Amino acid sequence: MTRKISLAALLAAASLGACSSGDLNIAPATTITDSNNTTNTGGGGSANDVCASYVNTGGQTIRGQFDSATGDCTYGSSFVSNILPLKVDMTIPALANDGAHIFTSSLFVGESHRSNAELAADGIFEGGDGPTLTVEAGTTIAFRSSSDFMVINRGSRLIAVGTATDPITFTSESDVIGTLPDPEAVQQWGGMIINGFGVTNACSYIGTRGQPGFALAGECHVDSEGSAGNDENQYGGDNDDDSSGQLEYVVVKHTGATVGNGDEINGITFGAVGRNTIVRNLQMYSTFDDGIEMFGGSVNFENYVALYVRDDSIDIDEGWNGTITNALVIQSETDGNQCIESDGLGGFDGLDAAVVEDFIARGLQSSPTINGLTCIFSANGAATATHDPGGAFRFREGITPIINNAIVVGTFGATDATTANDNYCLRIDNRSQQAALDGDLQLNSVVWACGENTRGQDLAGSGTTEETFATTTEGGQFATIVGGAATSPTAVNNPELQLLGGDLGYASLPWATSLIDSAAPVATTAPVAVDGVTPAFLGAVDSTGTDWTLGWTYGLHDGARGQPLWIESL
């Protein structure tokens, strides 16, 4: 969305009263036509009534400022901020004519609490006890400053349910007004943090996770990313069934700015978010740090897209044990770190061996499942990487993942021969090596095509290398890529390596007709059944079926992108 607007219009905002307890104000609908002949539907008969509002304890309606020249609503720091969190339910409505809700400060929903006593005094024990922020389908929410970010505190909920034709977008004001320096710009605003009461191995527990008698041993209030001073926010508890709301058809763009305490906020950070939080059809686009990062909890994801994430597209830590079903990861042509970077135990280096084994025995390590993953990473080196060179999977610190039906490709560009151990498919470190040998780390039906297959490590001194484990033990296949050269994995351009196809080059070819080498059909690595269903393809998107990314994602398809997808013609 690109518009030309005046500086005065950008800076216009209401001088608004303080937020405290109260009720959502919904006035009877009326139609308002502004001077530009654009029509907006709101309440009460004033143009400002199309903007979000709430009622404070004094009975005053606190409302954003509508700008008839742009069709946007602007909200100042006296509406909501990090020091003035939203304490009541509120709805942010969709605006006509691509109007956006522009926040000139951070948007915090609910209060942070550092003790059980504070939580109890506020009546906060689980999701839904605090305020709920509802965002209507088709809404765009933008942030003006690179230091501003969004936090859903424990007990609060975000209900952001878009549709395939009316997705919800969280982005920067520079994106809204067309002043982005380039389509892949990052650090235009902070990002989003969602906190819950789920399990994190940064806290102490009695018993085994998921079993009767499991409970906290003491209190659990872990500082989330960005938590310092007025930006304080915490996560953690013992309720993996907690709900922080619902996100469907949501796109998050241009995040990753460094906030007050030095943290680079991810696209979305999920701090101990519970499994009753619904997340379906979620995209991260152009993020400086990670796409999504889970610190404990059990939240599940269905249909996830990570496009142009400069650090890790999927980052796992502190005991997350949820599932991702269908994940399409496409790095930038010259930037990006791991498709998956994953840790089993927070603070691993400071734990002695006995504590590590105890945590794992009680199910406190990260143990995720990912079904249907396409990982397209760029063969970038240290010279072009924002963080570290490109790679596919890194497992460490006791994580016990199960990866089913995946395609990993890092061959679109030649491997940087000057950088050691970059552009690899698979790396397994420290305690996760033993997990692989024990059968707790599983790579079921994975096909790999990379400049470097693995780091070449011997798993826990067993004589089994990472590559032997991935092939002989797990039944996967590595393509033969001579000298780390660039080669296309598409049926159009390479008769020997045929994994991906479709108009945009990221959809999976049927496994039975794919090739990993001219003499080694992928048919020897057939998909495994998931929940009783065996797919006809490996990866996230079927080239012969319906593309679930159509209509709502940004950056993939014509009509909703700032540049062509770089792999289309390769």
Type and span of the H or E element at 520: strand 520-521
Collapsing DSSP states into helix, strand and coil, what is residue 312? coil
Mean pLDDT of the chain: 90
Distance (Å, rounded) from C-alpha 1 to C-alpha 61? 30
Nearest of 278, 423, 249, 396 to residue 339 by alpha carbon: 423
Type and span of the H or E element at 10: helix 7-11
pLDDT of residue 226: 79
Instruction: Sort strands 101-103 and 140-143 into parallel, antiparallel or unpaired.
Output: parallel
Distance (Å, rounded) from C-alpha 279 to C-alpha 261? 28
Asked whether residue 423 carries a pLDDT value surpassing 90, the answer given is: no
pLDDT band at 158 (very low <50, low <70, confident <90, very high): very high
Are 287 and 267 in contact, with CB atoms under 8 Å apart? yes
Q: What is the CA radius of gyration of the chain?
A: 24
pLDDT of residue 422: 74
Distance (Å, rounded) from C-alpha 222 to C-alpha 114? 8
Maximum separation of any 2 CA atoms in the chain, in Å: 76
* Residue-wise pLDDT tens digits, 68-79: 999 999 999 999
Place of tokens 């001077």: 35
Residue-wise DSSP of 12-49? ---------S-----PPEEEEE-TT--EEEEETTSGGG
Which runs of consecutive H residues, i.e. helices, occur in 178-246?
none
Asked whether residue 287 carries a pLDDT value surpassing 80, the answer given is: yes
Tokens of 453: 């297959």
Asked whether residue 124 carries a pLDDT value surpassing 50, the answer given is: yes
- Stretch among 44-58, 136-150, 317-331, 457-471 having the lowest mean pLDDT: 44-58
Tokens of 340: 């998956």
pLDDT of residue 258: 78
Asked whether residue 305 carries a pLDDT value surpassing 80, the answer given is: yes
Distance (Å, rounded) from C-alpha 26 to C-alpha 253? 30
Percentage, residues of the chain above pLDDT 90: 78
pLDDT band at 48 (very low <50, low <70, confident <90, very high): confident
Tokens of 549: 């990314």
Asked whether residue 6 carries a pLDDT value surpassing 70, the answer given is: no
DSSP state of 361: H
Are 444 and 473 in contact, with CB atoms under 8 Å apart? no
Asked whether residue 144 carries a pLDDT value surpassing 80, the answer given is: yes
* Residue-wise pLDDT tens digits, 170-208: 999 999 999 999 999 999 999 999 999 999 999 999 999
Distance (Å, rounded) from C-alpha 3 to C-alpha 96? 14
Asked whether residue 129 carries a pLDDT value surpassing 90, the answer given is: yes
The pTM for the full model equals 0.92
Q: How many CA atoms lie within 13 A of 148 on its CB side?
A: 24
pLDDT of residue 420: 63
Distance (Å, rounded) from C-alpha 243 to C-alpha 121? 20
Asked whether residue 101 carries a pLDDT value surpassing 70, the answer given is: yes
**What mean pLDDT is predicted for residues 522-546?**
95
**What mean pLDDT is predicted for residues 235-239?**
98
Distance (Å, rounded) from C-alpha 70 to C-alpha 60? 26
DSSP state of 541: -
pLDDT of residue 417: 65
Overall size of the chain counted in residues? 570
* Integer angstrom CA distances of residue 361 from 1, 253, 398, 440, 473: 51, 39, 11, 12, 23
pLDDT of residue 419: 65
pLDDT of residue 570: 77
- Stretch among 203-207, 245-249, 331-335, 535-539 having the lowest mean pLDDT: 331-335
pLDDT band at 378 (very low <50, low <70, confident <90, very high): confident
Residue-wise DSSP of 121-169? HTT-SSTTSS-EEEE-TT-EEEES-TT--EEE-TT-EEEEE--SSS-EE
Q: Please tell me which residue, 403 or 569, carries the higher pLDDT value.
A: 403
Asked whether residue 2 carries a pLDDT value surpassing 90, the answer given is: no
pLDDT band at 421 (very low <50, low <70, confident <90, very high): low
Place of tokens 């309720």: 239
Collapsing DSSP states into helix, strand and coil, what is residue 109? strand
Residue-wise DSSP of 169-191? EEEEHHHHHT--SSTT---SS--
DSSP state of 472: I
pLDDT of residue 228: 81
Are 406 and 374 in contact, with CB atoms under 8 Å apart? yes
pLDDT band at 9 (very low <50, low <70, confident <90, very high): very low
88-524 carries CATH number 2.60.40: no
Asked whether residue 14 carries a pLDDT value surpassing 60, the answer given is: no
The ranges assigned to domains in the chain are 88-524
Are 95 and 73 in contact, with CB atoms under 8 Å apart? yes
Asked whether residue 39 carries a pLDDT value surpassing 80, the answer given is: no
* Residue-wise pLDDT tens digits, 328-337: 999 999 899 9
Nearest of 299, 247, 246, 293 to residue 273 by alpha carbon: 299
Instruction: Sort strands 132-135 and 157-161 into parallel, antiparallel or unpaired.
Output: parallel
Nearest of 347, 447, 465, 323 to residue 397 by alpha carbon: 347
Q: Is 61 exposed, middle or buried (0-12, 13-18, 19+ CB in 10 A)?
A: middle
Q: Please tell me which residue, 503 or 407, carries the higher pLDDT value.
A: 407
* Residue-wise pLDDT tens digits, 477-519: 999 988 778 889 998 888 899 999 998 999 999 999 999 998 8
Asked whether residue 286 carries a pLDDT value surpassing 90, the answer given is: yes
Type and span of the H or E element at 358: helix 353-361
pLDDT band at 16 (very low <50, low <70, confident <90, very high): very low
